[in-house]
């Protein structure tokens, strides 16, 4: 199994005094040169007065943008502790038991506009850079990363099942091959909500639900090796409360999990239905 995650927008900085980034120690060292180049571009842009605007963030995040200028010296921590958004909290990546942690290290990749991809145990500093950004002298980051990620990840995914919890912005940086030599089974995860018999796509709570699924895939005894295995794992969660809505206090329960065929060369879709 290869489990693909988006980064969280917010990052939790490592404690003061923690060792800094060792760029050569990150997973997939074949990406070293591109990571080094992106660090340099990001540092230059982040020194500009209009840096928040260029990076697509509000002026209130100026302090986080300023951190981008000294990432090589900044304290670093495992990616599973730096990424602390809704999906990561639901998956519990930072607190996995030993067997699940080993599985996560071998099978989880977080996509990043700065690093390309990182594994949960890769030590990184907190930073601010989304994949949807277009940097001067670089262009769209998804286009910058796409050739290098193809070379690295096509081989890793070959013959495996790819469980895709990313948004479209990150999918643009790498799509698994689903036909020909080295093909993978590609499963995207979609979350729906059923209300009065009508089903609609969920956006607000989808990250949390994908996180619950990711954590379950890592903790269960049998590793998913095919798309049918992924469906089986999702069906094990049917009847479980996925989340409790803030404000209303209403529980959202998984009532159904289905695996739909996709377009030629596209992913199959795992639909998770909440009610």
pLDDT value at residue 84: 93
Coil vs helix vs strand at 193: strand
> Beta 251-260 vs 161-164: how paired, if at all?
unpaired
Separation of CA 125 from chain center: 16
Instruction: Identify the pLDDT of residue 263.
Output: 80
**Distance separating the N- and C-terminal Cα atoms of the chain:** 28
What does pTM read for this prediction?
Answer: 0.96
Q: DSSP assignment of 211-241, as one string?
A: HHHHHHHHHSSSPP-SHHHHHHHHHTTTTSE
User: What is the rounded CA–CA span in Å between residue 223 and residue 191?
Assistant: 22
pLDDT of residue 65: 96
pLDDT the model gives residue 204: 75
Cα–Cα nearest to 70, from 92, 111, 42, 100? 42
Q: Mean pLDDT of residues grouped by 10 in the chain (275 residues)?
A: 96 97 98 98 97 94 95 98 95 95 96 98 97 96 98 97 97 96 96 94 90 98 96 98 86 96 90 97
Which pLDDT value is given to residue 248? 81
Closest CA to 228 of 258, 190, 266: 258
- Give the torsion through C-alpha atoms of 231, 223, 95, 245, to 10 deg: 0
**By residue range, what is the domain housing residue 156?**
2-274
Number of domains in the chain: 1
Cβ atoms of 73 and 20 within 8 Å: the answer is: yes
Q: Give the pLDDT of residue 189.
A: 98
CB atoms within 10 A of CB 183: 16
């Amino acid at each position: 199994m290869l489990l693909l995650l988006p980064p969280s927008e917010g990052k939790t900085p490592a404690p003061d005094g923690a060792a800094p980034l060792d760029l050569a120690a990150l997973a997939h060292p074949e990406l070293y040169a591109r990571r080094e180049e992106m660090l340099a571009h990001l540092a230059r842009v982040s020194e500009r007065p209009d840096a928040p605007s260029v990076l697509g963030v509000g002026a209130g995040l100026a302090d986080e943008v300023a951190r981008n200028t000294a990432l090589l010296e900044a304290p670093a921590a495992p990616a599973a502790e730096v990424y602390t958004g809704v999906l990561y909290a639901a998956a519990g990546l930072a607190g996995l038991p030993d067997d699940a942690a080993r599985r996560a290290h071998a099978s989880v990749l977080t996509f990043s506009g700065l690093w390309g991809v990182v594994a949960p145990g890769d030590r990184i500093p907190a930073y601010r850079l989304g994949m949807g950004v277009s940097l001067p002298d670089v262009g769209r980051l998804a286009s910058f990363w796409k050739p290098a990620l193809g070379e690295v990840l096509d081989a890793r995914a070959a013959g495996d099942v790819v469980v895709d919890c990313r948004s479209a912005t990150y999918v643009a940086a790498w799509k698994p091959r689903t036909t020909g030599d080295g093909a993978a089974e590609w499963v995207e995860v979609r979350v729906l909500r059923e209300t009065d018999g009508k089903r609609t796509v969920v956006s607000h709570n989808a990250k949390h639900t994908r996180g619950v699924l990711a954590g379950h895939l890592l903790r269960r005894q049998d590793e998913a090796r095919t798309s049918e295995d992924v469906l089986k794992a999702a069906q094990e969660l049917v009847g479980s409360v996925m989340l409790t809505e803030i404000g209303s206090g209403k529980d959202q329960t998984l009532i159904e999990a289905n695996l739909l065929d996709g377009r030629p060369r596209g992913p199959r879709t795992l639909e998770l239905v909440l009610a």
